[in-house]
Structure 1
């Protein structure tokens, strides 16, 4: 009986010890959590109001601007532009003597269109050179038969008049053909512009980058880009001199960059394309 009581007391003591150990552990854990909370509160109190978060931030898309886009800047030499890696290296147009490239990942050169451009330009140059030469040359004098002119003299005069008339007709036709070739050249330019209105392109003259056409996804700092309404365009740039040019595009000058301007192509009341260009820079 005494032995049993001793065993019971031993068990009781063991339970009490276990409970004390568990309680101590719980207190220790609670104290640690409490200390952690206090430390966190102190850290929060120590941080100045408005301090930037340590979490990484995501930079927004680059704005399309006259100062440059994707490392390409107005006036930049062609080799320097290609060295940025922002462009495909195969030209997509050589029209007017300029060399055009598309942005990386853009469409491959359309060889059929480029061949047609070359033929149109060659005809334009040839006909205009001939027209300039013809109009700069004094016309042959028409024959004149007086009252005492012999039959042979009259015949010679008539032949001279016919030759002069033929020369005039040939010159007139030459001028008409040259004018039509100019129209064809202008149509070729429009076709090229439309082909890369959505993808964007960059045009280099001998003096450097002269035209920077934005891809469809690009936006200006004011949020204007393909799909923007004409009303939004006017609200954004009306105060900066936006106006409708003879070309049918909405334009306004680039502040501080003589000769450069923004151009917006508008179709159906919405922006279809935009560019920064200096038309004073000739291709050749």
Structure 2
């Protein structure tokens, strides 16, 4: 009986040894020229959606671009999307352009003609004012849309395919820059690579091996707020 006990104890000790096939931690996926999470720069929208790499419904379709979250990301906000559609529907700029091409009639000789001319002038002035306000409202909705998109991460598609890829909060570039990185580290990593501040106020630097694509970094205080890659030449709808 004692010998049997010894055998059982020895067998238990052997089974507690670590397996040579134990999983080895893998390095985090880089957010860079190869894309991220199976999404590649310029890929077709249908291909991206078919693979389940993105949520099924867009979070914005403003300007004809379709923005999608990563699975588990923010769901579409019907109220925000309706507000975007309402602003976009106020296409007054075209009418304003038509007015500029149609010379204003000169005051007529009679009082009636002069009154009609004055009425048209007032209507035209109001249309121009409305067009200016509509343009400002649309610009505001675009800025709001862009902030929400890069903060949450996801993919935006235009007529030529994927036009912008925004990194999730935990992703980093090959140089180790991601949301929350110090501004000093951003400059150390990319100043020598030609980083500049774009017209939209974001720091921009070319993406290696991808013509027309640039990294865009938003900055809040002394920290990086978000990271994305965008093809500025790619158009929406």
Query: Normalising by structure 1, what TM-score?
Result: 0.72
Unaligned runs of 5+ residues in structure 1 are 1-52, 144-153
Deviations 1:117-138 (A, max 9, x none): 1111111x2x122212211212
Contact kept, 8 Å, 2:212 with 2:233, in 1: the verdict is yes
- State the Cα distance separating 1:59 from its structure 2 match: 1.2
- Are 2:206 and 1:206 aligned? no
| Residue 187 (1) aligns with residue 187 (2) | no
| Root mean square deviation of aligned Cα | 1.8
Query: Offset at 1:276?
Result: 0.5
Is 1:250–2:215 an aligned residue pair? no
Asked if the contact 1:135–1:171 (Cα under 8 Å) also holds between the matched residues in 2, the reply is no
1:217: which partner in 2? 170
Answer yes or no: is 1:75 the counterpart of 2:38: no
Report whether the alignment pairs 1:138 with 2:75. Answer: no
Alignment match, 1:104 = 71
Give distance in 1, aligned partners of 2:33 and 2:106.
57
2:56 paired residue among 67, 89, 92: 89
C-alpha distance in 2 between matches for 1:197 and 1:279: 15
Report the alpha carbon displacement of residue 191 of structure 1 after superposing the two structures with TM. Answer: 1.6
Partner Cα distance (1:249, 1:231) in 2: 15
Q: Distance in 2 between matches of 1:254 and 1:220?
A: 10
Q: How does 1:259-278 map to 2 (within 5 A)?
A: 259-278=212-231
Give the conservation status (yes or no) of the 8 Å contact 2:32–2:207: no
Contact 2:150-2:228 at 8 Å conserved across structures: no
SS at match of 2:215: strand
Does structure 2 conserve the Cα–Cα contact (< 8 Å) formed by 1:141 and 1:160? no
Secondary structure in 2 aligned to 1:273?
strand
CA displacement, residues 29-67 of structure 1 (integer Å, 9 cap, x when unaligned): xxxxxxxxxxxxxxxxxxxxxxxx986532111011133
What is the CA-CA distance between 1:68 and the residue it aligns to? 0.9
CA distance in 2, matches of 1:172, 1:264: 41
Superposed CA deviations along residues 222-263 of structure 1, whole A, max 9, x for unmatched, are 110111111111110001111112211111122332321111
C-alpha separation in 2, matches of 1:240 and 1:86: 31
TM-score when scaled to structure 2? 0.85
Q: For 1:77 and 1:261, how far apart are their aligned partners in 2?
A: 19
